[in-house]
Structure 1
Amino acid sequence: MQAEIPRILIAGTHSGCGKTTIASGLMAALVARGVTVQPFKTGPDFIDPSHHTLICGRPSRNLDFCMMGETGIRRTFAEASAGADIAVIEGAMGLFDGREGSDTASAAHVARILKAPVILVVDVHAVSLSIHAVVKGFRDFDPRVKIAGIIYNKIGSDRHRQMIAQEEFVPALGWVPKQPESEVKSRHLGLVMAHESPAMKTYGRVIAESCDLDRILDIARAAPPLNIPVPVAQKTPAARHRPVIGVARDDAFCFYYQDNLDRLARAGAELHPFSPTADTEPDVDAIYIGGGYPELHAEALERSRCRQFIRDRAAAGMPIYGECGGLMYLCGSLEADREYEMTGVLPARAVMTKKLQALGYVQGAFGSRAGLWTGTVAIQGHEFHYSRVECDPEARFAIRLGHGAGIGDGNDGLTEYNTIGTYTHAYFTDAFCRKFVAAAAAFKKR
């Protein structure tokens, strides 16, 4: 099926060139014009999409070849772009930087899959004419990738701009001055989340003043028609029959792929957000606890009555699934600045570390242990954490990894009762979602 979807991909020469700020500012500038923008992010990132979502008022989606494949990227892109005037995709890292030194899963790879014109962000701090050697190299490196324009970032003065403008290999679409006051703070997992800093949203004014929005819109509208998969109709149960899956959503747990939530809903679940840091006892049939920053909110998590509630529900057999930060919360304790009591569902303690413990893609499968609600479905995703989990000798694991670090020794998915805690941020398959919803429905009937 052919679809006309105006689109651009904002890429950078390297991490730290200002790509995220400019992509978010461009989204904000377009929204301020009354344009409906559908945001996307290449790769497995959770943080940048939170800024996109806040700016655009539409959930930002990840486009990751390693987790989704070409068909999944096209399907997610087309479905999410419905009703939007333009799709703006922010690339990850440098334009051609992909998995393990290749361009697989890179921003360039996604641009080729979606036939998306690329606008390249280049950092011109302390450089003038030499930047054109960089631009020419990027333009010519892969002729399958169309670099339609350049946004020059960190212009120091009018004179600086004039020196660069003497040569032009690719059309200049923007000259963005240095804006140190608009920088967003970072911490160990990346930028702070959107609700913690309004800087990205306010950057729209800078982009509106510094970039040619009309030309950028023209480039997006000139993108060729895109072949997309025909959507498969799915029948969902009536609302009164749908099991409720509680999704932990607060400052401590905020890392979720929107596609995962949508697939759970399509598989028949009603999703109910709740806050583990608050004294809440949600009326749910299963619980999904994503990643985030439990170490920054450990005291509130320790005090909350929700900790005992989850422990009791786990012992009663409720299906509970936790990822990374969720895994840490499901352990007996979390050592950060001191040791904090956590839910105590899983036989282990979590320890924050100063060094990165794991970063990369994960592939594996759930085992065939009797009674495990997941069955033997495959799992794929990504891991990124500055913590380790020290398991008790009797600990059991639900997942055997073919690629990735996990909890250790090729194992992930620490399990107890009907609870599973994993370091993998999984990109859910339809099969996994059906299993999770079926387990919630079975618990509902008790």
Structure 2
Amino acid sequence: MNKSFKKVLISAPFGRSGKTSFSIGLARALSRKGYKVQTFKKGPDFIDPSWLSMSSGRFCRNLDLFMMDKETVLRSFITSSIDADIAIVEGAMGLYDGIDYLGTGSTAEIAKIIDSPIIFVLPVQRITRSSAALIKGYVEFDKEIDIRGIILNKVARDRQKNLIINALKHYNLPEVLASFPKDDKRLSIPDRHLGLIPAKERSELNSVIDSFADAVNEHMNWDLFFNITKSYEVSSEVLGDLVNFERLFDVRIGIIQDISFSFYYPEVFDFLKKLGAKIEIINSLADKHLPDIDVLYIGGGFPEVFAKELEKNDSLRRSIKEFGENNYPIYAECGGLMYLSDFIENDGNKYNMVGLLPFGIHMDKKPVGHGYEEVEVFEENPFFRKGIRIKGHEFHHSSVSISRSTDIKFSMKVLRGNGIMNKLDGVVYKRVMASYLHIHPLGFKDFVANLLRSIYVCK
């Protein structure tokens, strides 16, 4: 089997340079031209991928070198892009920024693994010729990195743009593909916490994304863009399942997925289907009772934003509590942990939640846990074998207090990150387990199967 697709990676010198808005607009602009676009996001983020998924009409995939090994990153990139015309990877932070001073896990490392050319988004407020010095530094810092084109962002006027273009030409640096004026409001997205708002929270998103695409289409030199993209010839040797699947039939898994709980990696659903599970999607705001299921999975999101609406649906909250009290398995991540607690307190208001876990959740304006998390499982639980280590990430603006006494235990020791409290995570009550840890199925490859196997684990 021979198949090829084009590829390009979008990076920048630092965060908030405009690379996400540009990537979203680029994906939609190419889609409107009739290309099948597969998007990727470097890192563990859920929010940017929700925009990228909507912009292309295909699920965005995460590429992360803390949670995944290099082979998994490459094979995920290839197998996800095999039926696409072009793959677009959006980087994170600055091009060479990683988890240490050596840039481990950086966007540059991803570019090397997938052998991708780079389009570099450069904000140019109040600089002209200095832009050439910056680009020269990024080009020469690592000779294995292939920066092919430049996007000028926040350009004041044509004179500034022309000075920068001429300086880049004079020093034989990559050409400018597009230039975006600083007063072009089409490329702005309102923030939520540390990043972009989740796509599913905005019904008018398509018009917002179309405005990004209009701006990209208007300013992009398309001939130059297609000249700098690089084709990848796919061989059959790299194809096949990323995980060895043992089909577990007749397991009915409920997943709460709606505007309150939208943080799920698409591989979760891919793997559940391959394992033979029957998936029941539950709406925490509209559904009154759990369907006939064997196990419940509640992912992350922003339940604090919809806490009032979640509290109003007391019928579903009672149904979930009864499910857990009757010793059925429930697995909850971050927002799911918050929902299973006694209450969420936000801006002086307290909202009752499910009440399975004896916790009060208190919201903060600043991140409480933000970054990679690694844990060691030290106690028996329904989902993970004792003694293993799991890498993931946490992203929460909430802290936890004990609201009452009950029979709970913690099952995870936090080696990196914050967890729930006192460097502990993975609280267990009966067959309910909840943590702040987000796990990627390609990072811990037994994760999805363990969700299903939990029905056979007795307590």
TM-score when scaled to structure 1?
0.92
Aligned to 1:184: 189
CA distance in 1, matches of 2:439, 2:108: 23
Matched, 1:413 2:426: yes
Match of 1:401 among 414, 428, 442: 414
Q: Is the 8 A contact 1:358 1:405 kept in 2?
A: yes
Asked if structure 2 preserves the Cα contact closer than 8 Å seen for 1:379 and 1:427, the reply is no
Match of 2:342 in 1: 332
Ranges of 4+ aligned residues in structure 1 off by more than 6 Å: 224-228
Counterpart of 1:219? 228
- Does the CA-based 8 Å contact 1:99-1:106 persist in structure 2? yes
Correspondence 1:51-62 to 2 at 5 A: 51-62=51-62
Task: Please state whether the residue corresponding to 1:296 is helix, strand or coil.
Answer: coil
Cα gap change, 1:41 to 1:138, in 2 (>3 Å): same
Paired AA for residue 343 in structure 2? S
**1:170 aligned partner:** 174
Structure 1 contact 75–228 (Cα < 8 Å) conserved: no
Q: Deviations over 1:386-424 (max 9, x none)?
A: 111113565311222222210122210111121111011
Is 218-227 or 316-325 further displaced after alignment? 218-227
**Separation of aligned partners in 1, 2:234 and 2:181:** 35
Q: Secondary structure at the match of 2:446?
A: helix
Alignment match, 2:449: 434
Q: Distance in 1 between matches of 2:27 and 2:137?
A: 27
2:368 pairs with 1:357 = yes
Cα deviation, residue 258, structure 1: 1.6
Structure 2 residue 300 is the aligned partner of structure 1 residue 291: yes
Question: How far did 1:13 drift?
Answer: 1.1
Deviation at 1:176, TM superposition (A): 1.9
Question: What is residue 13 of structure 1 aligned with on the other side?
Answer: 13
In the superposition, relative to structure 1, how do residues 373 and 46 fare at CA in structure 2: closer, same or farther (>3 Å)? closer
Deviations 1:250-300 (A, max 9, x none): 111111122233233333323222111223323222111111111110011
Letter in 1 for 2:179: W
1:24 aligned to 2:34?
A: no
Shift of the alpha carbon at 1:223? 5.4
Report deviation, 1:360. 1.7
- Name which of structure 1's ranges 194-203 and 350-359 shifts more when overlaid on structure 2: 194-203
- Displacement after TM superposition at 1:24 (Å): 0.8
Q: What is the identity, as a one-letter code, of the residue corresponding to 2:369?
A: A
Aligned residues: 440
Whole-Å Cα distance in 2 between the matches of residues 76 and 67 of structure 1? 13
Asked if the contact 1:285/1:441 (under 8 Å) is kept, the reply is no
Q: Quick one: distance in 2 between partners of 1:59 and 1:185?
A: 22
User: Which region of structure 1 is more displaced relative to structure 2, 107-116 or 353-362?
Assistant: 353-362
Matched residue, 2:256: 248
Q: CA deviation at 1:227?
A: 10
Q: AA paired with 1:397? A: F
CA RMSD between the two structures: 2.3
Q: CA deviation at 1:224?
A: 7.3
State the one-letter code of the partner of 1:378.
R
Q: Does 1:367 align with 2:378?
A: yes
Q: Secondary structure at the match of 2:93?
A: strand
Contact 1:10 1:119 in 2 (8 A): yes
Is residue 204 of structure 1 aligned with residue 219 of structure 2? Answer: no
- % identical equivalent positions: 34
Q: 1:342 aligns with which of 337, 341, 353?
A: 353
With 393-402 and 147-156 compared, the bigger mean Cα shift is at 393-402
CA deviation map 1:62-88 (0-9, x unaligned)? 000000110111121112112100000
Q: Structure 1 residues 104 and 235 mapped into 2: Cα distance closer, same or farther (>3 Å)?
A: closer
Question: How far 1:226 moved relative to its partner?
Answer: 8.4
The residue type paired with residue 245 of structure 1 is I
SS in 2 for 1:89: strand
Deviations 1:35-68 (A, max 9, x none): 0000000001111100111111110000000001
In 2: Cα distance, 1:320 partner to 1:58 partner:
29
* Counterpart residue number, 1:323: 333
Q: 2:394 aligns with which of 383, 400, 404?
A: 383
AA in 1 matched with 2:54: L
The alpha carbon displacement at 1:308 in A equals 0.9
SS for the counterpart of 1:282 is: coil
Q: 1:3–1:359: structure 2 CA closer, same or farther, 3 Å change rule? A: farther
Contact 1:314 1:417 in 2 (8 A): yes
Indicate conservation of the 8 Å contact 1:74/1:228, yes or no. Answer: no
Once residues 97 and 210 of structure 1 are traced to their aligned partners in structure 2, the CA distance between those partners, rounded to angstroms, is 29
Q: Secondary structure at the match of 1:399?
A: strand
The more displaced of 264-273 and 120-129 is: 264-273
Q: Does the CA-based 8 Å contact 1:117-1:148 persist in structure 2?
A: yes
C-alpha deviation, 1:349, in angstroms? 1.2
**1:426 match: secondary structure:** coil
- CA offset digits 1:353-392 (Å, max 9, x no partner): 12321222111233342x6343334321001211111135
Greater shift in the superposed pair: 409-418 or 430-439: 430-439
1:125-144 pair list within 5 angstroms? 125-144=125-144
* Cα distance in structure 2, aligned partners of 1:207 and 1:318: 50
Q: What is the CA distance between 1:234 and its match in structure 2?
A: 4.7
Q: Give the Cα separation in 2 of the matches to 1:412 and 1:51.
A: 30
Q: Distance in 2 between matches of 1:181 and 1:209?
A: 12
Could you list the per-position Cα deviations for residues 207-253 of structure 1 after superposition, in whole angstroms to 9, with x for gaps in the alignment?
Answer: 11111223222322345778974524855648xx3312112111111
2:177–2:225 CA contact under 8 A, matched in 1: yes
Deviations for 1:147-178, whole angstroms, at most 9, x for unmatched residues? 01111112222222212121221111111223
- Measured in 2, the distance between the counterparts of 1:297 and 1:235 equals 36
Quick one: distance in 2 between partners of 1:252 and 1:360? Answer: 21
**2:290 aligns to what SS in structure 1?**
coil
Q: Is the 8 A contact 2:165 2:175 kept in 1?
A: no
